Structure 1
Amino acid sequence: MLNDQFKDSDTWEQYLSKIEATTPTIRALGVTDYYLLDTYERVRDAKHRDGRLPGVDLVFPNVELRLAFGTVKGNWVNCHLLVNPEDPDHIGATQRFLSQLTFEYSGDRFACTPDELARLGSKIDPSLSGRAALARGATQFKVSFEQLAELYRAIDWAKNNILIAVAGSEHDGTSGMRGEAEGAQRQEVERFAHIIFASSASQRDFWLGRKASASSDEIRSRYGALKPCLHGSDAHETGKVGAPDGDRYSWVKGGAHFDSLRQAVIDPAGRAFVGAAPPIRATPSQVISRVTIRDAVWAATPTIELNPGLVAIIGARGSGKTALADAIAAGCDAASEHLSPASFLVRAGELLGGASVQLDWGSGDPSTRELLDYEYDPELDGRFPRARYLSQKFVEELCSADGITDALLREIERVIFEAHPEKDGTFRFDQLLELRATRHRLARQREEDAIGTLSDEIGLEREKRRQIPGLKQQLTQKEQTVKGLEADRDKLIVKGSEARADRLTIIANAAEKVRSYLRFFANQETSLLALQDEVRAFRQNKAPEALRQTKASFVAARLDDADWKAFLLEYHGDVDAALAARIDTARKNAASWRGVAPAALTDPNQSYLSADADPEKLPLAILEAEAARLQALINIDTETAKKFGNLVKRIAEENTQIENTRQSLADCEGAAERMAELSRQRRETYLRVFGSIISEEQVLRDLYQPLVDRLQKAKGTLQKLSFSAKRHADVKQWASLGEKLFDLRRAGDFKGKGTLEQWANTNLRKAWEEGDVAAVDEAIQRFTEAWQDELLAVANVASNDQAAYRAWLMRFAKWLFSTDHIQIAYGIDYEGTDITKLSPGTRGIVLLLLYLALDESDHRPLIIDQPEENLDPKSIFDELVSLFIVAKMKRQVIMVTHNANLVINTDADQIIVASVGTHTPGQLPPITYISGGLEDADMRTQVCDILEGGEEAFKERARRLRVRLER
């Protein structure tokens, strides 16, 4: 009526045509006019009587009022009454409501009716009449905010059928109310309003409590509730119809019902938006827009449209809820391995032959699968799941009461992996972990191998220490034996031959020493020949194999064959020539010391040696000839000569053994010092193992750190989840292996089975699992210093059985310094409790946390069958509701449920009610699916009828959102 710029003769036709042709399609149309319903009635009649506006499903009155508050721009604050058109008497009721608003002018009172507005216009300007007087009266008429508020609160029809909106701009809205008094009035007006007409993102964030300067609690406290922002074209001319400034369209989630506006008032953040297009949440190509079940007489509703947000499938038990979920999962190739014998596809399999499901995706590409074709081999068929199906079987298996499963761990690892920004070209968590941790794992393996080698060496040195008394005794006995043999020899010497006997002893000892030289060179030649064979084998077998293994271990290095050739192990220098030269030298030395037997002397009193010759530097052949000459001179008869020669030889051999024993004794007496050094090396190596373990622990911590950062910033249920890298020491395994080494009947403080484990739990576990290198060092040192000797004393093998005890010592050392009982794993806690200790139901919450809140990389539809299983009602509300609200913002969620809170308090975007008809033997009963939303009163009634606690859930929703529709 006011500022009417529609001047053409066919303005009405242009107006309707423009609405019909507008893109995006206008589904709900609020017809605005000051104080009147005339234009609304005309648009309504054009639709319902003349068949115009076929794309518009809802037409409702938007009665604009001017409040008696001025703005800084010289205008008046506009208020709007959005009227529910579903009441058959809504026009009359609205007119009656308006008629009770009054305006006083020039000693008269005027009602807000067309006649009274025209009378007011004529009173202001007597020259006006008819439409002109009506327009002038409407311009002058100002509504008292107090009167409007009082009237609205007094009339039940108004409270049930009118939503109050107020403009938020500076020009003709509350933002134009300035000054201290106006500020208080402004707050009252905005508190009274259900809806703010505003279009900027900043204003919307303010009214949703997203500003740092005004939290949601502050907005609720100051203005009574969070407010949805809406924006219209405010068209005063044809060109503006359906074309708001900046393409700022109003988008309301729900069916084209007036109740959808009410739901937007209840949940403004989730149900109202201003922009060129509705907010895109789920990726369109990952959204199922339509499900069609073909060749199935039991599907009474074969085609079902699906919302891209949260779809809740409800119904009585046995009504066909899971049938729809199974069918959708089969169409997505997601049902394989997730179906239990109780599932629809398995249970009804014999009656599903020939039936198929077609899914239409948001990207426009349909996919069709036979319902029974849900099992396939991905590698052979080239198919992969286009949705994630959390069937009851799948959830039960992952959250088994028997303990955390490998499948659940794999899912957790997948989420950790997807949350990590730097994947280094890997595709799975285990690959990335292997890539990052390989260096530390190899270092740990090398050091553990070194500990084994050092322990073997320490065992050998310990055995040498045990040999010292025996060697000393042996040395004494040998020396006494030589004295006895020398006395026996002296008795055989012919009187006057003492000098020759002494000379023979010297020659015999020299010959024995030369024989030791020959043994040395013989051994050297044998070893050099073996080394020559080793060089040949290394080149032919070991080096090529080492290169193959290196190439296999470091494929990611991406070296070509030419580069790898440089890694072929080869000896530095000409080892062949060096070995050949050494072999030749050894042979020549042996031949030189062996010598050639001399020609027999004609005079037996003449020596084979020159007077100044050193016997120990002569060949063996010369020494043996000289010994034979002297022996013949010393003894007269052959028998005595033979005995004498044997004694001389025996004395020489015993003297050689005495020298060897002295060398062995010296070696054994040096064992203590070597043991100390080897023990120091083993201790340092043991600590380096822990350094590698701690480094790997840090790698794991770094892998899940991005996820931890997200959890620290999260709100609600997510804050209850925490991740940590943990060292786990299997003390029981370590102690059990140790107990096998000891006689537990006499093990002192460790007597009896289990005692060692208890002690280790108290004194070693904390250092193993939580300590740094220094703490581990201190703990293991304290243990060895306090108990090593006692444990050695209770070995379960006899210490006098040298071979057995030597082997036992090596096993003992390897056990004591072993680290294979220490593993690294990530820990997952929920409310401070390790996931392995949670009940199956609570473990199910953790699983849903993964899929609903943490799994940001998977945008596929999520199909869940009865997520509330094994959970009490309070846990469902406290834990799951917020998860579904988060999830539906980023992916399509299709959920079968019996729980009212999961439908109502999640503000499900679509509700599908399943119902089953009469069952005919040998056939499936007909299944019907009816779809709607919470904005549909009939659907709300069905939700309350079907789901236990439905009415209470609606009340809880109002409490949670702090809804107060009354004004």
Structure 2
Amino acid sequence: MLSRGSEWRRWEPHIHAPGTVMNNQFSGPNAWGDYLTALEQATPVIEAIAVTDYYVTDTYEEVLRHKAAGRLPSAKLVFPNVELRLDVATAKGGFVNLHLFVSPEDPQHLDELQRLLSRLQFNVMQDRFDCTRADLIRLGKKADPNITDERAALAYGANQFKVNFQQLREVFSESGWAKKNILIAVAGGATDGTSGVREAADQTIRREIEGFAHVIFAGSPAQREFWLGQKDLGPDEIRARYGGLKPCLHGSDAHKLDDVASPFGNRFSWIKGGLEFDALRQACIDPDGRAYVGEQPPRSAMPSQVISHVQIADADWAITPDIPLNHGLVAIIGARGSGKTALADVIAAGSDAISPSGWNADENISPSFLARARKLIGDASTTLTWGGGATVTRALDGSDANGHMTFPRARYLSQQFVEELCSAKGVSDGLVDEIERVIFKSHSQDDREWALDFAELRDQQISRFQQAREREAEAIADISDRIATEFEKESLVTTLTTQVGQKKKLIADYTADRAKLVVKGTEAQVTRHTRLSEAAQKLRNKIQSFGNQRRTFVALQDEVRSMRATGAPEMLRQAQARHANSGLDAKQWEDFLLIYKGDVDKSLTAYIAWADGEVRKLNGVAPPPGDPNVALVPDIADLSTLPLAPIAAEMTRLEALFSADKVVRDQYAALTGRIAQENSALQTLETRLADAQGASARRKDLQTERDDTYGRVFEAIINEQSALAALYAPLMARLAASSGTLKKLSFSVRRIADVQAWGSVAETELLDRRKTGPFYGRGSLIAAATEALKPAWETGSAADVQAAMTAFMARYLRDLLSHAPFAPTQQAEFRAWSKRFAHWLFGTDHITVRYEISYDGVDIRKLSPGTRGIVLLLLYLALDDSDDRPLVIDQPEENLDPKSVFDELVALFVAAKAKRQVIMVTHNANLVINTDADQIIVASAGPHPSGGLPPITYVSGGLESAEIRKAVCDILEGGEAAFRERARRLRVRLER
């Protein structure tokens, strides 16, 4: 037995035939021939017909005779629909019509039906009339004595006969045969249906009738939505009020040839199932999935993305080499070792869906049939036929797998694949990769900005902010170095002040010593020499300043050459790498090469020449030697306008006049030179002192700048966080709007501050925790930072973080510095340490932006493997909308208890099979019965021969097949109980 199981087929649930008891408008000598031809030529093809008549089955029996003669070949199922009129009036003057769908499976169903109907009575005219042909004729004649024709009397009597609803319900409840073989349908319209029961006094009876019915005759989408709990009342309210959800059907209700198989608005009835009465019973159990009214049946997967047929060739172990597959949910069941996974593997192999690791798995431990049977497969191959007509053949030994032109046409969740993704390693690798893939696919093509995968899209969205963070972090490092330098200068104020005082005293002492060498009578010359010395010192200072400038200009020339040769080109290359998606060509990128705004080469050459010229002017030219008694510089000359050379010459001339003693002259000259040297040193010290005295103000400005830059670092971090959140927004919005299991899954993006790592760096590398103080011992710094900084780091704004760090420094900086491993007097060591300390304090390497995936409030990294399996199935079944390929799953219920299977997975499979073909291997009855699997494939294997593979046989069908249901109950634990529970509330019997 092999079939595709439950497929959508057109049923005609309400059609009269020539000779119908009332309102028969079929006429002509070939009324029956025309009627049957109309049914045979109907489009879409009608495959099940419920022949309708009032109270009797004459026309049904006539249709059976024509079918036995070869008519209606496409109609594999024909059954009676007995129409009754209840004694409940409608607002439009009619009466509520109720229908009995009678299963034809029982060979005695007509006799049993007539026996059941005979128990219905109509009391009128002081008489009791049973619902039998004879009494209906008798009623017609008694109601109108002028009627003599029995056919006319039958019609008139049927028109008068009204069935009491309470009596009907009692008769039905007392008949075991009726409960087993009859389904009740009631008209839902206003003229002859329950919608016409509008009087308040009749609302209770209306609800009773609708609750008694299994089927509602209604063709409008609004009615269908109501009875499925999708409109005014929810599913639970419908079940509580009416005993269950109801399928809606719509027939042509034809009483004449023109109406045959032509319902109003082409509202055809579609039932998913085999051509057997049990298909209608299944539709009552699952009205949403198995009954539909419309011009076409509901669409599921696209035909090109559906495997319609599997063929296994050159495999003597495959006793069933040709297997048709349903387009919806296919469940492969069987005992252990029966060949279930073998079929899943074969389908995956034909779809190029087995990964290289799957083909190369260890045959001794792999759950894969093809891996374990690698040495015995031989030349076996599989050919898959797709719904669009394409066929693909693949070897079952994997020899032609994973070629460069192949791609997976199905998604295969093998046991090995699921175990790998749901293991501890898989949490951080494969499972997260799959989640990211689904997130990526949730964005429209336009929103992906040409990215090929999630990582590329993420980098596109956040690289700008990461680059900003790096730039600001580098700026903080530079500013911290400058602050450390300013701190060092501040510490030198006292020392430099002392040195300036000492230098001044030394100069004064030298000056006094020189004065003692003056010979009496030369005081005027000495005074003159002193003024000349002061002027010379000023000129030398200027010359030294110009010399410093010249050296700077030369260094700038070197820097310009280096920047042009290596610096600017490298910066351009880095910019090109950071902005690879700019689309700019090499010529366009040339515009971004950094160049100097002006002609710096010309300027620097001019600056050097200018400095050299200024030095030459300040030095001047020495006058030629002359009379030692004649002044080289007139007394009235303005010394501030003279160059150095004549002043120095005049000083030398004067020194020769101070004493005739050469020794004294040499001493005077030496002291004069020493005084000049110390004055130069004094000027340098005074310059450094002034710089050091301004360090405090500069340091404070730099600290403010660093605080602002630290805030900008967090602005970049927060922007990165926002960009990541935007990536997950489509999926997060969908999860927020969902219900049930899907709502348990959530994504969040947040900052993580690893205070432990941040504090440990200081405690182990920067601070001397042996010193007595607030941060003595391990952990105290981490505790303080956790309290003062962690909340702002993780949830605060940039301003909050900036304020928290400012407050932290105000409170703890002095204490932290007290634990420095070097004293400030150890200048070199303390200087290096303070820079490292500042880099640590304002570093942000411990701040990361991370997205978290949680299920039922628990981080995915902390879930059990079984629960991670649920998350994996959530992805593939509910969230992966972009993937419409067949989904093949091997035993999704592994590691889950039966309740979890029902609570978490059933609804997911029901939703998934409406969008894509799902093929699953399972041991779980809930996953077969409660998902209303469209096709059940039962696998069985024979004895295992030595050195070969066991013979494997497959049979298949739908749940409407009693044989398939028996197999489900025999193989799957709890199968029979699951069937009973599903059918119980609707009073629908499904025999094993």
Q: TM-score, normalised by structure 1?
A: 0.94
From 209, 213, 220, the equivalent of 1:193 is 213
* Separation of aligned partners in 1, 2:897 and 2:834: 58
1:374 Cα deviation after fit: 7.8
* Separation of aligned partners in 2, 1:631 and 1:871: 109
| 1:281 corresponds to 2:300 | yes
| 1:722 corresponds to 2:746 | yes
| 1:151 corresponds to 2:185 | no
Higher mean C-alpha deviation, range 288-297 or range 561-570? 561-570
| 1:522 corresponds to 2:547 | yes
| 1:413 corresponds to 2:436 | yes
Q: Secondary structure at the match of 1:675?
A: helix
Relative distance call for 1:42 and 1:651 in structure 2 (3 A) is same
| 1:326 corresponds to 2:360 | no
From 795, 809, 830, the equivalent of 1:770 is 795
* Separation of aligned partners in 1, 2:891 and 2:295: 37
- Who is 2:501 aligned against? 476
- Who is 1:391 aligned against? 414
* Separation of aligned partners in 1, 2:832 and 2:450: 45
| 1:760 corresponds to 2:791 | no
1:541 Cα deviation after fit: 4.5
Q: Is the 8 A contact 1:944 1:950 kept in 2?
A: yes
Quick one: which amino acid aligns to residue 166 of structure 2? E
Relative distance call for 1:293 and 1:608 in structure 2 (3 A) is farther
| 1:430 corresponds to 2:455 | yes
* Separation of aligned partners in 1, 2:633 and 2:599: 43
Q: Secondary structure at the match of 2:183?
A: strand
From 379, 382, 388, the equivalent of 2:405 is 382
1:853 Cα deviation after fit: 1.6
Quick one: which amino acid aligns to residue 300 of structure 1? I
- Who is 1:629 aligned against? 653
From 829, 835, 852, the equivalent of 1:810 is 835
Kindly provide the CA deviation profile for residues 404-450 of structure 1, in whole angstroms up to 9, marking residues without a partner as x.
Answer: 31322222223233334561524333333333333333332222121
- Who is 1:702 aligned against? 726
* Separation of aligned partners in 1, 2:347 and 2:538: 94
Q: Is the 8 A contact 1:334 1:374 kept in 2?
A: no
- Who is 1:676 aligned against? 700
- Who is 1:572 aligned against? 597
Equivalent pairs, count: 959
From 574, 591, 613, the equivalent of 2:616 is 591
* Separation of aligned partners in 1, 2:140 and 2:819: 116
* Separation of aligned partners in 2, 1:384 and 1:643: 99
| 1:450 corresponds to 2:450 | no
Q: Is the 8 A contact 1:511 1:616 kept in 2?
A: no
Relative distance call for 1:768 and 1:33 in structure 2 (3 A) is same
* Separation of aligned partners in 1, 2:103 and 2:278: 8
| 1:141 corresponds to 2:161 | yes
Kindly provide the CA deviation profile for residues 345-403 of structure 1, in whole angstroms up to 9, marking residues without a partner as x.
Answer: 211122223222222222232223222338866xx713322222222222222222357
Q: Is the 8 A contact 1:701 1:725 kept in 2?
A: yes
Alignment root-mean-square deviation, CA:
2.6
Quick one: which amino acid aligns to residue 730 of structure 2? P
- Who is 1:361 aligned against? 386
From 764, 775, 794, the equivalent of 2:819 is 794
From 346, 361, 377, the equivalent of 2:371 is 346
- Who is 1:749 aligned against? 774
1:62 Cα deviation after fit: 1.3
Relative distance call for 1:396 and 1:616 in structure 2 (3 A) is farther
Q: Is the 8 A contact 1:532 1:579 kept in 2?
A: yes
Q: Is the 8 A contact 1:403 1:836 kept in 2?
A: no
Q: Secondary structure at the match of 2:469?
A: helix
Relative distance call for 1:26 and 1:333 in structure 2 (3 A) is same
- Who is 1:66 aligned against? 85
Q: Is the 8 A contact 1:338 1:393 kept in 2?
A: no
Higher mean C-alpha deviation, range 883-892 or range 538-547? 538-547
* Separation of aligned partners in 2, 1:574 and 1:829: 61
1:338 Cα deviation after fit: 6.2
Q: Is the 8 A contact 1:337 1:375 kept in 2?
A: no
- Who is 2:330 aligned against? 311
| 1:401 corresponds to 2:424 | yes
Q: Is the 8 A contact 2:537 2:679 kept in 1?
A: no
* Separation of aligned partners in 1, 2:659 and 2:246: 132
Higher mean C-alpha deviation, range 947-956 or range 799-808? 947-956
Relative distance call for 1:134 and 1:741 in structure 2 (3 A) is same
Q: Is the 8 A contact 1:419 1:706 kept in 2?
A: yes
| 1:272 corresponds to 2:291 | yes
From 627, 648, 667, the equivalent of 2:672 is 648
Kindly provide the CA deviation profile for residues 674-695 of structure 1, in whole angstroms up to 9, marking residues without a partner as x.
Answer: 1111111111111121122222
- Who is 2:905 aligned against? 880
Q: Is the 8 A contact 1:224 1:964 kept in 2?
A: no
1:113 Cα deviation after fit: 2.7
Quick one: which amino acid aligns to residue 43 of structure 2? T
1:512 Cα deviation after fit: 4.0
Quick one: which amino acid aligns to residue 680 of structure 2? T
- 5+ residue gaps, structure 1: none
- 5+ residue gaps, structure 2: 1-19
Kindly provide the CA deviation profile for residues 630-665 of structure 1, in whole angstroms up to 9, marking residues without a partner as x.
Answer: 333334344443343232212211111112111111
Relative distance call for 1:316 and 1:509 in structure 2 (3 A) is farther
Kindly provide the CA deviation profile for residues 585-628 of structure 1, in whole angstroms up to 9, marking residues without a partner as x.
Answer: 12211222232332111x11223223233445433332332233
Relative distance call for 1:747 and 1:910 in structure 2 (3 A) is farther
1:229 Cα deviation after fit: 0.4
From 594, 610, 634, the equivalent of 1:610 is 634
- Who is 1:826 aligned against? 851
- Who is 1:35 aligned against? 55
Q: Secondary structure at the match of 2:424?
A: coil
Relative distance call for 1:42 and 1:911 in structure 2 (3 A) is same
Quick one: which amino acid aligns to residue 666 of structure 2? K
1:136 Cα deviation after fit: 3.3
Higher mean C-alpha deviation, range 553-562 or range 305-314? 553-562
Q: Secondary structure at the match of 2:750?
A: strand
Relative distance call for 1:159 and 1:509 in structure 2 (3 A) is same
Higher mean C-alpha deviation, range 301-310 or range 636-645? 636-645
Q: Secondary structure at the match of 1:746?
A: coil
1:885 Cα deviation after fit: 2.1
Quick one: which amino acid aligns to residue 751 of structure 2? R
1:725 Cα deviation after fit: 1.6
* Separation of aligned partners in 1, 2:426 and 2:519: 95
* Separation of aligned partners in 2, 1:579 and 1:698: 48
1:955 Cα deviation after fit: 4.7
Quick one: which amino acid aligns to residue 241 of structure 2? R
- Who is 1:659 aligned against? 683
Quick one: which amino acid aligns to residue 336 of structure 1? S
Quick one: which amino acid aligns to residue 329 of structure 2? L
Q: Is the 8 A contact 2:775 2:819 kept in 1?
A: no
1:798 Cα deviation after fit: 4.5
Quick one: which amino acid aligns to residue 647 of structure 2? L
* Separation of aligned partners in 2, 1:121 and 1:102: 14
- Who is 1:177 aligned against? 197
Quick one: which amino acid aligns to residue 106 of structure 2? D
From 950, 953, 966, the equivalent of 2:978 is 953
* Separation of aligned partners in 1, 2:942 and 2:964: 20
Q: Is the 8 A contact 2:214 2:986 kept in 1?
A: no
- Who is 2:607 aligned against? 582
Relative distance call for 1:303 and 1:239 in structure 2 (3 A) is farther
Kindly provide the CA deviation profile for residues 258-287 of structure 1, in whole angstroms up to 9, marking residues without a partner as x.
Answer: 111111111212221111111112233322
Higher mean C-alpha deviation, range 116-125 or range 588-597? 116-125
| 1:44 corresponds to 2:64 | yes
| 1:246 corresponds to 2:270 | no
Quick one: which amino acid aligns to residue 404 of structure 1? V
Q: Secondary structure at the match of 1:758?
A: helix
| 1:687 corresponds to 2:706 | no
